[in-house]
Amino acid sequence: MNNQNLTHYLYGLADNALILGQRLSELCGHGPTLETDIALTNIALDLLGQTRSYYQYIANLSHENLSEDDVAFLRKEHEYRNVLLVEQPNADFAYVITRQYFFDVFHFLMLEKLQNSKDLNLKAIAQKSIKEVSYHKRFSGDWLKRLGDGTELSQEKVQNAVNDLWVFTNELFETSKADQTVLKELQIESPETFKSDYYKIISSTLEEAKLNVPEVTYFQEGGKQGIHSEHMGYILADMQYMQRTYPDMKW
């Protein structure tokens, strides 16, 4: 296995979890109810825990004596490989839940495939993470239904979120040549194989929530190639501030 290709693939997995976890952590203390606030914080912690596992693996593969903190905090914006979906802002609670559900369904389906990987490290991470992500998917899916089948205002807000965020979903299934090589060597099914299942699940949930499935033919992409939205720089400025201001600080 080419370490460079594997590292590239791992960055894609880890950066999605990191950036979404960072977005959710911004909501700590700002949830609509105490129970929901704590739930979102716990989801953020789950994602950051998964991120650490991936980054530790990346650091071990490196010949540059990297630490997981170096990998997380000392890269430039164009070096992050997360999809555009996870960096979208917390416009309101409907956007938070819709963004979460769109990612959770993909995340769960992907982890199902990773459990069959020939790479024992990836397999172990997937087996642990899928238990957490199963809860994430249930939490965000239940809230999507409550908002869609709730008041006229909640339905309007969540439909707007669905319409705006739908254009970011297709990027979840893109794979680079390096990723394709890794998937083939490790005998992991490509995301393309469960793309139709993904949209069936999403569409079924939207229908149950009395929401319309957007009719979109154009999708936005670029995050996996390091071309991010205007929001990414602000996320990294907050996340990396302490490490860049006080290099190698210890808690």
The structural domains of the chain, ordered by start, are 3-245 (1.20.1260.10)
Task: Say how far apart CA 245 and CA 251 lie, in whole Å.
Answer: 14
Residue 250 has pLDDT above 70, yes or no: no
Task: Say how far apart CA 150 and CA 237 lie, in whole Å.
Answer: 37
Task: Say how far apart CA 144 and CA 52 lie, in whole Å.
Answer: 29
Task: Say how far apart CA 61 and CA 92 lie, in whole Å.
Answer: 39
pLDDT at residue 66 in the model: 82
Mean pLDDT of all residues in 27-36: 85
CB count, 10 Å around CB of 188?
Answer: 23
Going by pLDDT thresholds of 50, 70 and 90, the confidence category of residue 15 is: very high
In sequence order, the 6+-apart residues with CB closer than 8 A to the CB of 121 are 57
Task: Say how far apart CA 216 and CA 128 lie, in whole Å.
Answer: 35
pTM: 0.94
Q: What percentage of residues in the chain have a pLDDT greater than 70?
A: 99
Alpha helix (H) residue ranges in 33-151? 34-61, 68-73, 93-114, 120-148
Tokens read off for 121: 């490290």
Region for 248 from its dihedrals, namely left if φ exceeds 0, alpha if ψ lies in -120 to 50, beta otherwise: left
pLDDT digits (tens, 9 = 90+) for 141-192: 999 999 999 999 999 999 999 999 999 999 999 999 989 999 999 999 999 9
CB contact at 8 A, 85 and 30: no
Task: Say how far apart CA 251 and CA 249 lie, in whole Å.
Answer: 7
